[in-house]
Structure 1
């Protein structure tokens, strides 16, 4: 799979959780990329994604900055 295809898949997974109302609650950087925890504020449900693509990591970082500016 190309890097661009991997980016698109990871971006779509991130967008899915954001559209469902989840917020980014925790990020752990490691050698394989980043583990991102999403929490739904109403249902108290937590989901975790492994983001390996560098562009997808930049993407969720920009979403996290926007999220922090709104709160």
Structure 2
């Protein structure tokens, strides 16, 4: 599988969890990629995704920035 196809798979998994209402809760970075923990605010269910591509890391980082900006604006 090409790196771009791998990125598309990772992006679709992230989008699926975000659409279901999950929020990024924790990120563990290592040489094998990133392990992104998602948590659902209603039932506290957790999911973990392994993101190994550079574009996948950039993608979830942009979602995290948006998530944090939105929560900051709500708290004001």
**Could you tell me the TM-score, scaled by structure 1's length?**
0.99
What secondary structure does 2:41 align onto? coil
1:6 aligns with 2:2: no
Report the count of equivalent residues: 71
**Structure 1 runs (4+) greater than 3 angstroms displaced:** none
**Could you tell me the TM-score, scaled by structure 2's length?**
0.92
Q: Could you tell me which runs of 5 or more consecutive residues in structure 2 were left unpaired when the two chains were aligned.
A: 72-76
CA RMSD, Structure 1 to Structure 2 (Å) = 0.3
Larger radius of gyration: 2
